[in-house]
Structures are given as C-alpha cells and as structure tokens.
Amino acid sequence: MKFKMMTICNVRKMIWKNTVFLRHFSVNTTPLVTQQQESASAIINDVLKHGKTFGFHQEFFKSLNKEKVIVEFSSPNIAKLFHVGHFRSTVIGNAISNVYLAAGHDVCKVNYLGDWGIQFALLAIGFEQYGNSELLKNDPLVHLNDVYVKVSEEANSDTELYNKAQALFEKMEKGDNNALKFWKLSRELSIEEFKRLYNHMGVTFDVITGESQFVQQAKGILKSLSSQNLLTTEENGAKKINLSESSWICGNQPHEVTPIVERKNATTLYLTRDVAAAVNRFEHHSFDRMIYVTDFSQNLHFRQVFGILEAMGYDWATNEAGKLIHIGFGRVQNMRSRKGQGVYLKDILDKAEVKVRQDRLEHDTRRSNIENEKHVIDNLALTGLICHDLKRTLRKDYKFSWDAILSSKGSHGIALQYTHCRLYSLEQNCGTSLTHDIDISMLYNSEMMNLIEQISKYGLATQKTYETLEPSVLLLYLYDLCHAISKAMIACQVKGVDKNLSEARLLCFHCARTVLGNGMRLLGTVPLDKM
C-alpha cells in the first residue's frame, strides 16, 4: 500500500465533514488528490488489518469497560411447540449477544425454559386419557401439544379435573418423585427437540435452565418479602405486594401496582420464580447488565419483577442502576392458523426450505448440481427468515411475507447471500490474484469511491447497533452496502482490464466481502460462498 495509515476517526471526519473527499468524483481522468487517496488507503488497510474484528476495533469499543452481560432469550415452553414469538426471541437475542461478544464483553447466553406450572400437572393427567407412547416417542412436542389442547379444554368446564391437577401440582412443588415422573420425561424430550432446532439455526447457549429450577428459591423470596412486611393478604388468601412507590411501574391499575405473588394454596408463580432466578443470577455472576428478550406483552411482567427486586432492597435492581433491561418486541400479525393456534417454527422452516428449493428449480437450472445443496438451501431459507424478522425497529409488529423472505433482490436476506456469493465468485474467477500492494490512485471512480465510503461507515453501524440494541440498524446498513457493491460491480470490471487497475479493484471488492460477511455473522446468518 502506497500511503501510510490514518486513524479511522480522521478518516470519518474527512468523510462526513469534508465534502471534498468523495463527492467530487465523477470522471475517470483526474488522479485522486493525496488526501483522498490516503483516506481510501486507510480504510482498506483497516479492513485488511482487522479482518473479522473490523467494525469493533475503533476507539469507541476500545474505551468501553468490559462488562459481564447476561442475555436471556428464546425461553420456549416445554411440552409445547416452538412458535414464532420464540423464534423472534431467539433471532433477536442471538444477534444482540453476538454484538456484545464482538464488543468484548463477557456474555452469558441463558435459555430459561417455561417448564413449570399447573399446566404440566394437567398434561400428566391428560396423558393418561389421551396419550399414546408411540406418538410421544416419534413426535413428542406435537403429541404433547395435542394432548394439552384436549385436556385444558376439558378442564375449563370440569372443576373436578382442575382440582385434581391443582392437587398434583402441589405434590410436584413438594418434590414428590412420583408426581414428577411425567414432567421429567416431557422436559427431556422437549429439550432434545429444542436442541435440534437450535443446532439447525446455529444458535448456542451457555446455560439452559428453566422455571422449575427456582421453585425452592421462590419460596425463600416469599419468606423474605413477608419478613420485610411487604405483603398484604387478600380475603381469598392470596398475597400481594404493593409496588406503587417503584420507579419501574408506570400505570396505576391495581393489577399493575399490586401483583399477586402467592396463591392461596402457597404454590409459586411465574412472577416469583423470575424474581428468584434474577437473584440467583446476580449471586452467581454479579452481572453488570441483564437483558431479557421476549415479546412486548411481557413488559408489565418484567417491570413487576424488577420492582419487586427493588422493593427487596437490591441496589442493582433500581431503575437508575440501569442493569436490568427488558427488550420487548412486536408481534407477527398474520401468524395464526385457521384453528386459531400459533404457527410453529418447524413448519415455517420446512416451508421456507421447500419454497427456496422450488424457486431454484423454477428460476435457475445451472445451480441444481451445487455441492452440499442441503446446507445451502437451509442457510438461504434461514437468512431469508432472519432478515425478514430483523428488518424493522424491534417494537414494531409486522406481517409475515413469503415474497420478502424468498426475494434475492433489493433489501432482503437472500440478496445479502447473493451479493456475498457474487463477490466470492469474482475473487475465484477473475484471473487476478489478490495482493495488498496496490496502486490506490487506480480506484478513482465514483462507484468505487462510494463503495469505500460505505465500507468506512461500518464502524458507525456497529456502534449504533450496540448503543440502541436495534439489529435493524446493522441490517439496513448491509443493504446499503450491497447496493454500493452491486453498482461498483457493474461499473468496474476486474477481468480483462489493466493489471494495476484489476488488482486495486479486486482488493476493494475483497474488503467489501469481509465487511458484508462480518455483518451477516453478527446477525446470526452464515455467509455462503456459492448458492
């Protein structure tokens, strides 16, 4: 490289404040002025030097204190199918964890299964009547779900059945082995199936736990609350806590301000188990930040969890401490089946794969003999789904659209893969070898300069994504990058031009691919070389 490196900050200042830099290129004849060449050179050098960590090497990330961060996400319910809300939580939580990891924090990814509650007692009773061991073995979640739908319908009108479940649940809470037998089996089978899904999605966890692990601690929490005189007993025997003083609570409705923390039969609740799990995590990890990723409807629940922790006197749980964060995402509006049930991830993944395969058959015969086609199709389908999900501000609801998921053009996931593959193929087939020693003045061309400018903005995109915890910031940046790449690929031939020109352009496209790949991996997709 013919020019010495500049700091990225200087480069940015030049890019955004000094319009001299990029705006004034239009024709291919005048050589770049030194300052402009230095800027372009510094950006390319930075990408080459930092490679996979480019975008997190800048001052902003270097100056951060390294924190212990817990990200709790996915958290499906056992004995139930994994639905689109859990898919959203998995995709969003995974992307946020990746960004925190890349920023250098010590991240612990936690999956907190919904594996406790009276519904599991009802399910055990229902299984005696409607269950089939063969079906349970072959397709556990579907079968358990079917059984649960039947038995819960029955329990709605049959108080005797409901009371029986209540009694069984009380035994389960006391740890009675016999009462726990069916629950244990359902839990194991569910976890096995969830693991298959996570494996398919390329998502891993550091801890897989669940509500069931915090029953005893939740009872301890109730004792502390009571000894701190924070509880009042209702006429029906249930106990409530008054959170009207808490800065976490915004509304003034009784159900918001004074939640029930204990039923009259003294079994634990979702709310108190969550309080116990948070205390346990702080004791084990003394985290600087804990992030919960669920759909927005649980916002009040988490404000109550945080409010109870604050009322118990934990200074890490105050609003001001800023350590507890609930990320509430919007709903997928058109994801109900005709029977009114949710649509399940396995069906969505299968359908996406079938559609991608069909699309390839209809539109492209050349690629049908690609190696490892299953891997390619799975990843295209997943990329389409992930990017469709992350495209907008998290709080927004959205409509599921197969056209958007499958599109390989414009601002859609498969288009990212398509661009990545085109760049890879260019490097393989252009006949020029990649060298770092290029003549930067060769890049004098508005499309190339625009591409370099776009590459230089990646650091700002990662920083903004980190600060806002909005993966859409990064994704929209990647769409702009792809747009710049494709314009530059049309305008700037690499094959069949002068050697110096070819080498300079190739290096620039190589840097673009590095950045695109980095961004795609952060979002939880696997960049493909061929499709």
Give the residue numbers annotated as catalytic, written as ranges.
80, 83, 86
Give exposure, 175-206, as e/b (b: 16+ Cβ within 10 Å): eeeebbebbebbbebbbebbeebbeebebebe
What value, to the nearest 5°, has the Cα angle with vertex 171 and ends 168 and 172?
90
Rank residues 77 and 454 by Cβ distance to ligand ARG and give the closer one.
77
* SS3 sequence of 280-305: HHHHHHCCCEEEEEEEHHHHHHHHHH
Shortest Cβ distance from residue 302 to ligand ARG (Å)?
A: 7
In terms of CB distance, is 73 or 169 closer to ligand ARG?
Answer: 73
What is the total count of residues that contact ligand ARG (CB under 6 A)? Answer: 8
Nearer to ligand ARG, 25 or 112 (CB): 112
- Residue-by-residue DSSP string for 55-109: TS-SHHHHTSPP-EEEEE---PBTTS--BHHHHHHHHHHHHHHHHHHHTT-EEEE
- Alpha-carbon span 474 to 382, nearest angstrom: 18
Report in angstroms how near the CB of residue 115 gets to ligand ARG at its nearest: 8
> Taking phi first (over 0 means left), then psi (-120 to 50 degrees means alpha), and beta for anything else, what does residue 385 get?
alpha
Contacts of 258 (CB under 8 A, 6+ apart): 232, 240, 241, 242, 243, 244
Whole-angstrom CA distances from 340 to 36, 297, 334, 416, 435 are: 60, 18, 11, 34, 59
Q: How far is the CB of 161 from ligand ARG (least distance, A)?
A: 24
> Which residue stretch of 70-78, 148-156, 164-172, 255-263 sits at the interface with ligand ARG (rule: CB under 6 A)?
70-78
Q: Which stretch binds ligand ARG (CB under 6 A): 69-77, 188-196, 280-288, 478-486?
A: 69-77
CB of 531 to ligand ARG, least distance (A): 34
Helix axes 118-130, 177-201, angle to 10 degrees: 100
CA distance 191 to 154: 27
Minimal distance, residue 273 CB to ligand ARG, in Å: 8
Of the two residues 77 and 445, which places its CB atom closer to ligand ARG in the complex?
A: 77
List the one residue from 41, 46, 78, 114 that touches ligand ARG (CB under 6 A).
114
CB of 210 to ligand ARG, least distance (A): 8
Q: Which two tokens stand for residue 400?
A: 């599921």
**Binding mask of the shown chain, residues 217 to 256, with x at each position contacting ligand ARG by CB under 6 A:** ----------------------------------------
CA pair distance 98, 107, nearest whole angstrom: 9
Question: d(Cα 174, Cα 28) in Å, to the nearest integer?
Answer: 80
Distance of CA 266 to the CA centre of its chain: 36
CB of 466 to ligand ARG, least distance (A): 23
Contact region for ligand ARG (CB under 6 A) — 72-80, 341-349, 419-427, 493-501? 72-80
Nearer to ligand ARG, 87 or 458 (CB): 87
Q: Which of 38, 46, 72, 503 binds ligand ARG (CB under 6 A)?
A: 72
Query: Of the ranges 71-79, 232-240, 385-393, 429-437, which one interacts with ligand ARG (CB under 6 A)?
Result: 71-79
Contact residue for ligand ARG among 77, 111, 419, 472 (CB under 6 A): 77
Residues 160-189 that bind ligand ARG (CB under 6 A): none
513 within 8 A of 455, measured Cβ to Cβ: no
Closest residue to ligand ARG, Cβ-based? 114
Q: For tokens 């839990």, what's the residue? A: 187
269-308: contacts with ligand ARG (CB under 6 A): 274, 292, 294
Pick the closer one to ligand ARG by CB: 90 or 419. Answer: 90
Q: Does 119 bind ligand ARG (CB under 6 A)?
A: no
145 binds ligand ARG (CB under 6 A): no
Distance (Å, whole) CA 420 – CA 366:
18
Distance separating alpha carbons of residues 155 and 337, to the nearest angstrom: 23
The residue (of 117 and 459) whose beta carbon lies closer to ligand ARG is 117
Number of C-beta neighbours around residue 430 at 10 A: 18
CB-wise, 55 or 85, nearer to ligand ARG? Answer: 85
Would you tell me which residues interact with ligand ARG (CB under 6 A)?
A: 72, 75, 77, 112, 114, 274, 292, 294
